[in-house]
Amino acid sequence: MGAKVATFVILAIYVTIMVGIGIYTSRRTKSTEDFMLGGRSVGSWLTAFSYGTTYFSAVVFIGYAGQFGWLYGISTAWVGIGNAIIGSLIPFFLLGRRTRLMTNHLGAKTMPEFFEHRFDSKALKTVSAAIVFIFLIPYTASVYNGLSRLFGMVFDLGENGGTYIIIAMAILSAVYVTLGGYKATALNDFFQGIIMLIGIATVVILTVHKKNGLTEAVDALNIIADDKGKTNTLGSLFGPDPLNLLGVVILTSLGTWGLPQMVQKFYAIKDEEAIKKGAIISTFFAIVVAGGSYFMGGFVRLYCTLNGEDGSGREVIKIQNGKPVYDTMVPALIKTALPNMLIGLIVVLVLSASLSTLSSLVLTSSSTLTNDLIKPRVKNFDDKKQMTFMRAFIAVFLIISVIIACNKNASISTLMSYSWGALSGAFLGPFLYGLFMKKTSRAAIWASFITGVGISATHMVLFSMNISAFNDLKADIKSWGCSFNLLSPINAGAFAMIVSLLIVPIVSQFTKAPEQKVVDNAFSSLEKAEAKKA
């Protein structure tokens, strides 16, 4: 009883601080640019923490750490390393400066608006805005799903209890984002990021300590057979399935380069010096949070079992549709490895990770829908009306996400894979080459939109409808001895991103670029910046 009371007290303090920050920043939010981008004056620490906390949520800590830790053992930590280097360090240095300069010069507040001005096409803006709104919804739902799993375990809420938690978290995230916009999310992200760093470090240390230290924990892991019945793989450097592990690294690391909620952090950053500092801070954050989460997940088999007949005291994981319920594995680990009095810290850790991501998702979605779809079609759409619409769409977005999240048949990793696969599969090539390659054509952008959304949507339909021919094909691939499962949602998403990177330069070689004056205008800010340096 004492542990639950302590958890409630910690949660009450946390919620009070979140709402207080929203009220404080609401007084400083005077325009749509303040609401959407914090007035483009956000410093290195706030940007780095906002980037990291948007990146990592309950999806990583509950869903991905559990599923991939079970499948690949401690080699799953490679995903965290990829997130830190490919997903955090490189984007800051490669995309940060150019994104800040070009979007500021073009007056672009969102990714769709960047496509409009960079390629002189209102149609690109309209379609990309629709893609953003539609495919951010499953990602948001996956975050709520992770939250409900943990809260259900901690408070013994039963089947319907998770639904109430999802609704409560939606209301909380809506309140402080609606009040303060980007500034509220940035300040909250910093506060939440500190909690995440402390919480992850605590969980990792206790997870290993409970099994008598790292050496004994790895030895114990190597005794357990993987899904193919082999031993000495789950504690090895590259694990039992390095090819499919690579697919996870690509999806979760390269994907950040084309996600609107991630690259928008560079729109708002204060100056070039802040970008350099932000790169180091965000990389450290990713190593601790992502690396720690996946490393911890690598030990779930020491705490979970599928049959419960070995007398080990491990938590029994249910089987659903012929597969383990991966989303319950990390909550089971936490329940077993941590003292009851520390559960409150972990609840706030996951809540912090999730609310920070949710705030960025709802802000990106509502801003994009209002700025890029509604504003061009409504006369006399001043700042006051625009902020009213954005706040209304926050509610709409969250309601749809909550409805999807309440469907427990969809796993956290599947929802996130479809979202990232479609968004980054559509936008990665167009955004990257739009920043660097003057010959990038409108036709190439359309090709990427079609293939990125097409691959993810087609897979989603086939996967959800349980079509027999699709299942037969998966079985055939497995029988051929092919270890790389292209038909999994994760690898399909990674494939869509790679196609985007290839298709844009290829199509651009054979199609006409925008008018020279449009291209010159887009790159003039970069040329002026280079001239100043010289």
What is the average pLDDT across 264-284?
Answer: 86
- Please tell me which residue, 315 or 330, carries the higher pLDDT value: 330
Task: Count the neighbouring beta carbons within 10 Å of the beta carbon of residue 501.
Answer: 17
Residue 368 is assigned to a structural domain of this protein: yes
Task: Identify the pLDDT of residue 410.
Answer: 60
Q: Which of 127-136, 398-407, 480-489 has the lowest mean pLDDT?
A: 480-489
Q: Which two tokens stand for residue 90?
A: 């490189």
The sign of the torsion formed by the CA atoms of 52, 53, 55, 56 equals: positive
| pLDDT confidence band for 312 (50 / 70 / 90) | low
The residues that bridge with 315 in the sheet, in sequence order, are 304
pLDDT digits (tens, 9 = 90+) for 180-202: 555 666 677 777 788 888 888 98
CB 103 within 8 A of CB 260: no
**pTM of the predicted protein model:** 0.84
Task: Identify the pLDDT of residue 433.
Answer: 97
pLDDT digits (tens, 9 = 90+) for 23-39: 766 666 555 555 555 44
Is the pLDDT at 482 greater than 50? The verdict is: no
Residue 76 is assigned to a structural domain of this protein: yes
pLDDT digits (tens, 9 = 90+) for 367-390: 777 777 788 777 777 777 777 777
Residue 533 is assigned to a structural domain of this protein: no
pLDDT digits (tens, 9 = 90+) for 427-478: 999 999 999 999 999 999 999 999 999 998 888 877 666 655 555 555 555 5
Q: How many domains does the chain have?
A: 1
- Collapsing DSSP to helix, strand or coil, 312 comes out as coil
Instruction: Look up the domain containing 139 and give its range.
Output: 2-527
Residue 226 region, left (φ>0) first, then alpha (ψ -120 to 50), else beta? beta
CB 358 within 8 A of CB 173: yes
Task: Identify the pLDDT of residue 25.
Answer: 64
Residue 130 is assigned to a structural domain of this protein: yes
- Please tell me which residue, 421 or 63, carries the higher pLDDT value: 421
Provide the percentage of residues in the chain whose pLDDT is more than 90. Answer: 35
- Please tell me which residue, 61 or 170, carries the higher pLDDT value: 61
Task: Identify the pLDDT of residue 452.
Answer: 95
Residue 141 is assigned to a structural domain of this protein: yes
Task: Identify the pLDDT of residue 121.
Answer: 93
CATH number of domain containing 380: 1.20.1730.10
Residue 91 is assigned to a structural domain of this protein: yes
Task: Identify the pLDDT of residue 459.
Answer: 83
Residue 534 is assigned to a structural domain of this protein: no
The residues that bridge with 316 in the sheet, in sequence order, are 305
Task: Identify the pLDDT of residue 19.
Answer: 73
DSSP secondary structure string for all residues of 205-237: HHHHHTTTSHHHHHHHHHHS--TTS-SS-TTSS
Residue 146 is assigned to a structural domain of this protein: yes
